[in-house]
């Protein structure tokens, strides 16, 4: 019996292959349908039947219509929806130097990360600068900040909280810790321009200071904003500033400002050239310490 079935299998397969085969059709009989003809006309109705050559459609006004498939535009599948990547970021570095009577090396690196979802936005930045002259450090600064904003549906306001850490080898204190909260307002949010303002307040703490003129703890306000301008397909301009006026003890302020210009090496390339300026100001930096800390740079970066 088993041998007989084995001998019959090839015959059954040949018989099945000989049957007329219809490819799976996108049209379903008995369902509403709209077809577009080659000349751009569209016909709607109930599909009564569909074969290899024709569709038969019952139209409310024209009655039964036989539409040759050759006269129809082929159905096109919808373009796949590309998922929005909530994580974006960039990393860039610049390195310059000189040798001769004085050997100088200048190094700067920056990491930016953004997490943007329906509920809120997280932004993180870390900047490290170091300069050496004749193998002696003349500048070494590290700054990092994390901000979280809550999105409110159909509102341009976004409550936020943020925290930052700053360490500068050439100040009268070891480190500066700061936390703030407030509200941000989206003045402009288009593909070309994004302008945001911020208003709030917080507390900063300077650790490791022996200078009596340096206040360890300061209650401060926060006034700031940023502007991103997508100039064209490959170029972008960015301006950021946060000012922290001292409230208690009053008098003086500190600020963080950054401005940069980026241009991609090619339209589809993740690599870009970046030039910019950083300015950190602290009117209570301590005796003998410059209140303004400038950094100019030109480097190479990669977006991810």
pLDDT tens digits, 28-38: 788 898 888 88
Beta bridge partners of residue 57, listed in sequence order = 47, 65
**Taking Cα atoms as reference points, which of 304, 232, 237 lies closest to residue 275?**
237
Please give the Cα distance from 164 to 170 (Å, whole number): 19
Over residues 88-107, mean pLDDT: 86
Q: Decide: helix, strand or coil at residue 202.
A: strand
Distances 68 to 40, 61, 202 between C-alpha atoms, Å: 15, 19, 73
Binned at pLDDT 50, 70 and 90, residue 6 comes out as very low
- Is residue 15 within a helix (H) or strand (E), and if so which, with residue range? helix 2-18
Q: Which of 27-41, 49-63, 175-189 has the highest mean pLDDT?
A: 175-189
Confidence at residue 84, expressed as pLDDT on a 0 to 100 scale? 59
Distances 102 to 9, 97, 130, 139 between C-alpha atoms, Å: 90, 10, 16, 16
CA angle 106, 111, 115 (to 5 degrees): 170
Confidence at residue 74, expressed as pLDDT on a 0 to 100 scale? 74
**Taking Cα atoms as reference points, which of 293, 280, 292, 289 lies closest to residue 213?**
289
Binned at pLDDT 50, 70 and 90, residue 210 comes out as confident
Please give the Cα distance from 54 to 65 (Å, whole number): 10
pTM here?
0.70
Confidence at residue 81, expressed as pLDDT on a 0 to 100 scale? 58
DSSP 71: G
Please give the Cα distance from 223 to 246 (Å, whole number): 12
Confidence at residue 22, expressed as pLDDT on a 0 to 100 scale? 42
- If one compares 86 and 160, the residue with the highest pLDDT of the two is 160
Confidence at residue 21, expressed as pLDDT on a 0 to 100 scale? 40
């Amino acid at each position: 019996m088993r041998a007989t079935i084995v001998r019959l299998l090839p015959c059954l397969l040949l018989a099945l292959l000989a049957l007329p085969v219809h490819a799976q059709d996108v049209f379903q009989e008995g369902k509403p349908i709209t077809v577009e003809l080659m000349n751009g006309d569209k016909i709607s109705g109930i599909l009564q039947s569909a074969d290899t050559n024709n569709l038969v459609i019952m139209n409310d006004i024209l009655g039964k219509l036989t539409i040759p498939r050759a006269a129809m535009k082929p159905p096109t599948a919808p373009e796949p929806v590309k998922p929005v990547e909530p994580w974006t970021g960039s990393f860039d570095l610049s390195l310059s130097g000189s040798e001769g009577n004085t050997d100088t090396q200048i190094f700067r690196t920056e990491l930016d990360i953004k997490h943007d979802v329906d509920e809120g936005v997280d932004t993180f930045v870390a900047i490290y600068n170091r300069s050496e002259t004749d193998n002696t450090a003349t500048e070494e600064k590290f700054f990092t900040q994390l901000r979280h904003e809550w999105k409110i549906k159909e509102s341009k306001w976004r409550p936020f909280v943020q925290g930052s850490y700053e360490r500068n080898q050439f100040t009268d204190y070891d480190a500066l810790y700061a936390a703030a909260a407030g509200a941000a307002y989206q003045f402009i949010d288009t593909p070309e321009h994004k302008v945001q303002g911020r208003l709030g307040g917080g507390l900063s703490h300077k650790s490791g200071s022996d200078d009596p003129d340096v206040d360890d703890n300061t209650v401060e306000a926060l006034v700031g904003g940023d502007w991103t301008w997508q100039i064209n397909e490959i170029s972008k301009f960015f301006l950021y500033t946060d000012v922290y006026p001292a409230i208690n003890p009053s008098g003086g302020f500190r600020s963080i400002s950054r401005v940069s210009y980026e241009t991609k090496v090619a339209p589809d390339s993740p690599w870009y050239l970046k030039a910019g300026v950083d300015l950190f100001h602290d009117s209570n930096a301590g005796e003998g310490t410059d209140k303004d800390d400038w950094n100019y740079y030109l480097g190479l970066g990669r977006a991810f």
